[in-house]
Every structure is written in C-alpha cells, then in structure tokens.
Amino acid sequence: MKSSIALLTTSLVAASTLLVAADTHQSERLKRFNDAKFGMFIHWGPYSLASVEASWPIMVPGTWGISEPDYRALRQRFNPTQFDARAFVRLAKAAGQQYMVFTTKHHDGFCMFDTQYTDYKITKTPYGKDIVAQLVAAAKAEDMPLGFYYSPPDLNHPGYRDTSKPASTNWNGEPARPEWPLYLDYMELQLRELLTRYGDPFVIWFDGLGVQQKYAGARFHELIHSLRPMTLINDRIGLTGDFVTPEQRLPNGIPRKGAVVDTVDPHDKGVLQEAPKPEDFQPWETCMTINNTWAYNKNDRNFKSATVLVRALIDAASKGGNFLLNVGPTPEGTIQPEFVERLTAIGDWLRVNGASIYGTTYGPLQSIPFGRMTAKGKTLYLHVFDMPAGSLELSGLKAKVASIKALDGGAAVKFTQTGDKLSIPVGGIKVSPHATVLAILTR
C-alpha cells in the first residue's frame, strides 16, 4: 500500500512539474512573440513562374488561366539562380522586422525543403538546392528568428485525397478514406524533419483551410512542444494555439479569449472595444499582403503605400497584435523593387519610432479619432495619423501625466491635464512621415 501511495505521489509530482514547465514555456513563447510585433511572411514556389497564387489555380480552376497539369509542370522550369538567403534576411532586418515565416509547403504539396518523403520538392527542380536550409543558415548568421508555414492540406499526397481525380473535386481532403491515417503519419514525418533538421523554428504556422479538426491537432501540438518547447503554434489546425490569425484585415477591437476573430467574417463577434484585463487578452497576428496577392504576380500593381503599411503596423500594435507582412519573391529568386522600397521606408520610420512598437501592448484609449495608442510600462505612445488644428484632445485617461516628448528629436511637448482630459497644443510639434509619435510618461 505504501509503495502504491508513493508511486501515485511521485506521478502527481511529475505531472505537476510538467504542467509548470508547460506554462513557463508558453509564457516565454508569448513574451517573445508579443514583443516582436513585426514580421516578414514569404510565399514562394514554382507558381511564381506563372504569376498565379499558390495552390488556388488547381483548387478553383478557370480563374487563373492555367490547367492543373501545366501548374504541376512548373517545377520543371523552376530555377531561382539569383536567390540570396542572406539578402532576404538583411532586407527583413532593414525593414525593422523581428521574425520571418517561410512557406515550406503550400496546399499544392510542393516542398521548398529537401524532405525525404516526396519527390515533389525543390531539390528535384533545375535549381536543385534546399531553399529552407539556406534560409535557416542565413537567419542563424543574422540572429533572425525564422518560422515555418506548413500546410496540413496536401493536394499531391494520395493519402490526403484520391489523386486520380482533379484537385478541384476533392481539395478539402477525404478523411473518411482508409488512407487518411497514413497521411497524418506523413505530416508527422515532415514536421519532425522541420523540427529536427532545420534549427529551432520560431513558429509552426499551419494553414488548415476548413474543418481543421480532421488533422488531429492535439497530436501535432504535442509533437511540436515535445521537440521544440519554445516554438509557437498558430490557430489553423483545429486548436487555438498560442495566437489567432485574422487575415488581410485588422480586428475592430482588442481580441479577447473566447472571441471569434476568424479569417473570413469581417465583423468580429465578442471583441471588446475597451482595453481588457491582461488575463483576458487573446494574442493575435494579422497577415497581410503589400499588393493584392500572396505569390509573385507581375500583373498586380495595386501596391499599398508605405504610409498605409506603417499605420497598419501601428493599428495592430495598438490592439496588442503582431503584423506579418508578406512578400512574394520573383521566379528568379529576388524581391521586387516596389516591395523593397516600402519595406525600407517602414524600417526608416521604425529606426526613429521603434520604441513605440516593440515590446508594447495595447493602449488604454482605443477610440482616438486622429490616431492610435500603445503602452509600455508607465509610458504611453500616442501615434498621430492626422494632426488636427489647435490641439490634440484626449478623454478618459486615468493616469496622471508627468511629461510628454516627441520621439522624433526628443523635444519636450507642452500639455495641460484636467481630470481625465489631456490637451496637447500642436504648435511646435514636428510632423513626421507616416505617423508622428509622442511619448507620454505617466506617474
């Protein structure tokens, strides 16, 4: 009896230790994620040759002007000889981005790494070299956290769907087929490769499309956490994960735990407009394109301006979120000059104003008509988009203001505070490109 009690006690202690360790790792994972704020997303593969989106031309044919056989054949010509992994990482650093996420495999099943489990991969193209391995080496050399986008859907794998049929007929997968467990094993084998052969990933960024529960998300959460406890996991494999991922938009308010912040519905449900308690906050990240497409498209010239992108980053930070900005490299392996120009401009702004973004959280005031607010300790950062005439008027500020200075130059700024109302005369404030930032030190 005593030995049984002792064994049970030992087991309970061990379980408790594991739970504490898991909580600690999650806290550390989320801190480095929340502090980073700004990252680079990269969508790239043979599809860049045709100026079409990744995977979707064979999922929804007729919209991109390429057949499934022709799409599959693109890899036979994929030879990005101008690719320079170090240049990619250095561009991200110049833009002020604190992490990168690269598409190791999109829904089409083509792998940009030298996986052992399929020939539909980068090392079986004329290029012949492992893109992911080169990026991992460059990121390590430049001290840049690198994460991996990995698509649970795989239109090339016969366990995922009956590949004798057009992908357009069964691209959502067929989990009722007896081959499905073999496909999940394939996923595990590839994830083990990415987690053990390619450094220590910052994040595994899943993109499971609909009915994500079919991917047995708990199995892969356990796998990732057992091999890489500090690797983040997003919400697109049927579980919430470390953070949620609105796409191509910014939420209307600060997401809180249990709220619906999905990638399709433009109207958030259950999102608070006022600042929630820290324990109620749901970490999140929006991913967004610079033009309208994720992959390289020579015909898409609808580029967002640097000002729009800087303000999107600020808006995300003001709601406690991260901004993952996408680039689609060219077939040759370079990043087009329009993207470089905008990324460089964002980096220039961040070199002056980065303290108002990195390591911050959502500001206490969320309804500012002329801008946004972030917070770090006792400092509030007021981002002014459109400088009004006369003065900046804020209501509802409970903290007592000690001083205000402009980040661009550090000059002291006059103010008056009466109760919860703060008035800042705009005379003498230098207007900065994209957004003017004032640091408000509170007592």
According to the CATH classification, is domain 363-442 in 2.60.40.1180?
yes
Question: How buried is residue 357: exposed, middle or buried, by Cβ count under 10 Å (0-12/13-18/19+)?
Answer: buried
Distance CA 19, CA 13 (A): 10
In the block, tokens 């890489």 appear at 228
Q: What is the pLDDT of residues 195-209, one digit of tens each?
A: 999 999 999 999 999
The per-residue pLDDT for 410 is 79
Sign of CA dihedral 97, 101, 107, 109: positive
* Percent of the chain topping pLDDT 70: 91
Residues 291, 296, 301: CA angle, nearest 5 degrees: 40
E-only strand ranges, 128-272: 146-150, 203-206, 232-233
3-state secondary structure of 130: coil
DSSP state of 182: H
pLDDT by residue (tens digit) across 87-105? 999 999 999 999 999 999 9
Per residue in 298-325, pLDDT tens?
999 999 999 999 999 999 999 999 999 9
- For residues 174 and 122, is the Cβ–Cβ distance under 8 A? no
Q: Which residues, including other chains, have CB under 8 Å from residue 205's CB and lie 6 or more apart?
A: 101, 147, 148, 149, 150, 234, 236
CA distance 51 to 299: 7
Give the residue-averaged pLDDT of 367-389. 96
What 3-state DSSP class applies to 438? strand
* pLDDT tier at 16, thresholds 50, 70, 90: very low
Reading the block at residue 433, the tokens are 């490109």
Detail the DSSP E strand segments found in 231-337.
232-233, 285-289, 322-327
Domain ranges of the chain: 32-359, 363-442
Q: Give CA–CA dist 305/283, Å, rounded.
A: 27
pLDDT tens column, 228-252: 999 999 999 999 999 999 999 999 9
Give the model's pLDDT for residue 209. 94
DSSP of 104-153:
EE-TT--BSS--SS-S-BGGGSSS-S-HHHHHHHHHHHTT--EEEEE-S-
Which DSSP category does 356 fall into? G
Closest by Cα among 158, 163, 177 to 117: 158
Q: Kindly tell me if the per-residue pLDDT of 265 is higher than 60.
A: no
Residue type, 216: A
- Binned at pLDDT 50, 70 and 90, residue 4 comes out as low
Of the chain, the percentage scoring pLDDT greater than 90 comes to 87
The length of the chain is 443
pLDDT tens for 114-154 read 999 999 999 999 999 999 999 999 999 999 999 999 999 99
Could you report how far apart the first and last alpha carbons of the chain are, in Å? Answer: 60
Nearest one of 408, 404, 304 to 350, comparing CA atoms: 408
Q: What is the pLDDT of residue 78?
A: 98
CATH architecture type of domain 32-359: Alpha-Beta Barrel (3.20)
Distance separating alpha carbons of residues 330 and 78, to the nearest angstrom:
11
* 124/111 Cα distance (integer angstroms): 10
Please, are residues 386 and 371 in contact by the beta-carbon 8 Å criterion? yes
Q: DSSP states of 53-82 as a string?
A: -SSHHHHSTTSSS--HHHHHHGGGG---TT
